[in-house]
A and B are shown apart, each in its own frame.
Chain A
Amino acid sequence: MADGKMRVLIVDDANLVRLYYRQILEEEGFEVEEALNGLEALERLLVSPADALIVDINMPQMDGITFLGALRRQALPLSAIPALVTSTESSADDVAAARAAGANFYHVKPIGREVLARYMAMFCGAPQ
Chain B
Amino acid sequence: MAESELLDAEEYRRLCDYLYRRTGMAFTEARRYFVERRVEDRMIATGSSSFASYFARLRVNMEGEVEKLINAATVNETYFYREDHQFTCLTSNMLQERLRVKPPGEVLRIWSVPCSTGEEPYSIAIWLLENWPEVDAHDVEIVASDIDTNVLNAARSGIFGKRALMRLSAGLTGKYFTRAGPEHWQILDELRQSVRFTAANIVAQTETRPHGLFDVIFCRNLLIYFDDTSRRIAAENLYESLAPGGYVCLGHAESMSRISPLFEVCRFADAIVYRRPLEAKHG
Chain A positions within 8 Å of B, measured between CB atoms, are: 14-23, 34, 86, 88, 109-112
The verdict on B134 contacting chain A, using a C-beta distance below 8 Å, is yes
- Using A88-B105, A88-B138 as known contacts, say yes or no to A19 and B191 having CB atoms under 8 A apart: yes
Can you name the residue of chain B whose Cβ is closest to the Cβ of A88? B137
A-B pairs, 4 with minimum CB distance: A109-B137, A15-B194, A19-B190, A110-B137
With an 8 A cutoff between CB atoms, is B72 at the interface? no
- The CA-CA distance from A34 to B188 in the complex, in Å, is 14
Q: Mark B150-190, 1 if CB is under 8 A from A, else 0.
A: 00000000000000000000000001000000000000101
Residues in chain B within 8 A of chain A (CB atoms): 104-105, 125, 128-129, 133-140, 175, 188, 190-191, 193-194
New A-B pairs, 16, CB < 8 Å, besides A19-B191, A112-B133: A14-B140, A15-B193, A16-B125, A16-B129, A18-B190, A19-B129, A19-B188, A19-B190, A20-B135, A21-B136, A34-B190, A86-B136, A88-B105, A88-B137, A109-B137, A110-B137
Q: List 14 A-B contacts (CB under 8 A).
A: A15-B190, A15-B191, A16-B128, A16-B136, A16-B140, A16-B190, A16-B194, A17-B135, A17-B136, A19-B129, A86-B136, A88-B104, A109-B136, A110-B133
Q: How far is the CA of A122 from the CA of B95 in the complex (A)?
A: 34
A23 vs B25: C-alpha distance when bound (angstroms): 42
A113 and chain B: residue at smallest CB distance: B133
Which residue on B lies nearest to A15, using beta carbons?
B194
Once the chains bind, are A111 and B194 in contact (CB under 8 Å)?
Answer: no
CB distance from B91 to the nearest CB of A (A): 13
| B residues in contact with A17, CB < 8 Å | 135-136
Most-contacted residue by chain B among A16, A18, A20, A110 (CB, 10 A): A16
With A19-B194, A23-B129, A110-B134 already in contact, the answer to whether A14 and B188 are too (CB < 8 A) is: no
A110: contacting residue among B125, B136, B191, CB under 8 A: B136
Residues of B within 8 A of A22 (CB): 190
Q: Which residues of A have CB within 8 Å of B175?
A: 23
